[in-house]
């Protein structure tokens, strides 16, 4: 039996473990918002540009936040089935569990990650090909190893290039309790139920919204997801790791992190729409609501035009500056002019106004 739905092409694992509801992509077991569809260009541009603003690489923040996120995603999938989890993570069955976990990495578009050696709590070796971001692929591997054997791992790159080989070794006990790592622990988000939130039409075989398979092409052997229209690479990114990174960045930049990150996202969104041949595209309320909900970035509740000013209300927003930046980029691409905008978040509800820059 294939790993992808025979009708829509989406990996079966996604349909079995997640549901699109209330503007989020929700883990069935925990009820937490888990993923969002995110352009790899946007992700890597954010990492590069934010690093320039703070004056040092984001890699340590990304690594620690993503280790937490990977660990929690795996544990959340296992916790509802404690007996099976104990069996799956015990010798010799943990090798089978590792193969399943590597399949999850491919399904979310992280790249091809293979655990070719693993002596529990002692050493592991992985081969990584086609990573969307090498630091994050190292981190999700380390987080998965921690979920399997409870050990925090560091790594040493054995070979880089088209296919990286990486050795993972246990961290010393004092390093494993490092303050930054503990501070970057994941805070989960359970989306609010929204009575007016209309569900997408689902694939009759796997239950995933039909439009996911229409929008995205899944190259499962290589762990690569691309948009069918234009070919841009995307990932199913962990919203909790984004949230943890932003909390840490606020320690460096204060409240300015929201403005800086929304501006970076705005420019990336404009670029993506222009490259897709959509310059000047107008959006009505229903289309924008579907776009945000499909990507797992929130549920549009209101969209009102008053003169030159557009007001938006979006519920179940977990990473507000990225959503605000995306909306500003959509507005600027639509009107083909620069914008000024303000946004705020209360109880995970984003309120935003956009108008022409004067």
Cα 91 → chain centroid: 31
Q: Where are the beta strands (DSSP E) in 180-338?
A: 216-219, 224-227, 233-238, 299-306, 309-315
Whether 52 contacts 245, CB under 8 Å: no
Check residue 255 and give its pLDDT. 77
Check residue 117 and give its pLDDT. 84
Whether 40 contacts 133, CB under 8 Å: yes
- The answer to whether the bond into 91 is cis (omega within 30° of 0) is no
Q: Which residues of the chain have pLDDT under 70?
A: 1-2, 78-85, 87-93, 173-187, 196-197
Whether 50 contacts 265, CB under 8 Å: no
Check residue 1 and give its pLDDT. 44
Collapsed DSSP state (helix, strand, coil) of residue 116: strand
Joined tokens for residue 29: 């077991």
Per-residue pLDDT reduced to its tens digit, 33-75: 999 999 999 999 999 999 998 888 889 888 888 888 888 878 7
How far apart CA 351 and CA 84 sit, in angstroms, is: 44
CATH of 256-356 given 3.30.420.40, 3.40.50.620, 3.40.50.300, 3.30.1380.20: 3.30.1380.20
Per-residue pLDDT reduced to its tens digit, 252-310: 777 788 999 999 999 999 999 999 999 999 999 999 999 999 999 999 999 999 999 99
Residue matched to tokens 């977990």 = 318
Provide φ and ψ at 196, rounded to 5°: -85, 0
Determine if the pTM surpasses 0.75.
Answer: yes
Joined tokens for residue 351: 């309120």
How far apart CA 230 and CA 238 sit, in angstroms, is: 24
Check residue 207 and give its pLDDT. 94
- Which residues of the chain are in CATH 3.30.1380.20 domains? 256-356
């Amino acid at each position: 039996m294939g790993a992808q739905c025979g009708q829509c092409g989406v990996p079966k694992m996604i349909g079995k473990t997640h549901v699109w509801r209330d503007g989020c992509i929700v883990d069935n077991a925990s009820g937490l918002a888990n993923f969002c569809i995110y352009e790899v260009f946007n992700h890597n541009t954010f990492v590069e540009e934010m690093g320039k603003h703070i004056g040092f690489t984001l890699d340590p923040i990304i690594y620690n936040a993503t280790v937490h996120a990977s660990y929690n995603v795996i544990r959340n999938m296992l916790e509802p089935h404690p007996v099976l989890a104990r069996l799956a993570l015990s010798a010799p069955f943990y090798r089978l569990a590792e193969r399943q976990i590597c399949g999850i990495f491919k399904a979310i578009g992280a790249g091809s990650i293979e655990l070719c050696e693993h002596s529990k709590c002692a050493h592991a070796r992985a081969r990584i090909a086609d990573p969307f971001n090498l630091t994050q692929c190292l981190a999700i591997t380390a987080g998965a190893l921690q979920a399997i054997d409870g050990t925090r791992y560091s790594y040493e790159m054995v070979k880089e290039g088209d296919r990286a080989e990486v050795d993972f070794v246990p961290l010393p006990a004092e390093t494993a309790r490092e303050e930054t790592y503990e501070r970057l622990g994941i805070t989960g988000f359970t989306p609010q139920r929204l009575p007016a939130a209309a569900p997408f039409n689902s694939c009759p075989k796997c239950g995933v919204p039909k439009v996911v398979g229409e929008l995205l092409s899944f190259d499962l052997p290589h762990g690569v997801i691309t948009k069918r229209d234009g070919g841009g690479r995307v990932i199913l990114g962990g919203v909790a790791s984004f949230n943890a990174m932003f909390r840490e960045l606020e320690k460096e930049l204060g409240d300015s992190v929201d403005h800086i990150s929304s501006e970076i996202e705005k420019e990336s969104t404009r670029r993506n729409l222009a490259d897709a041949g959509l310059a000047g595209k107008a959006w009505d309320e229903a289309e924008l609501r579907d776009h945000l909900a499909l990507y797992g970035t929130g549920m549009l509740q209101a969209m009102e035009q008053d003169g030159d000013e557009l007001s938006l209300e979006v519920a179940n927003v977990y990473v507000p500056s990225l959503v605000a930046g995306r909306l500003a980029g959509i507005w600027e691409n639509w009107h083909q002019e620069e914008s000024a905008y303000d946004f705020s978040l209360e109880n995970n509800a984003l309120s935003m106004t956009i108008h022409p820059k004067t």
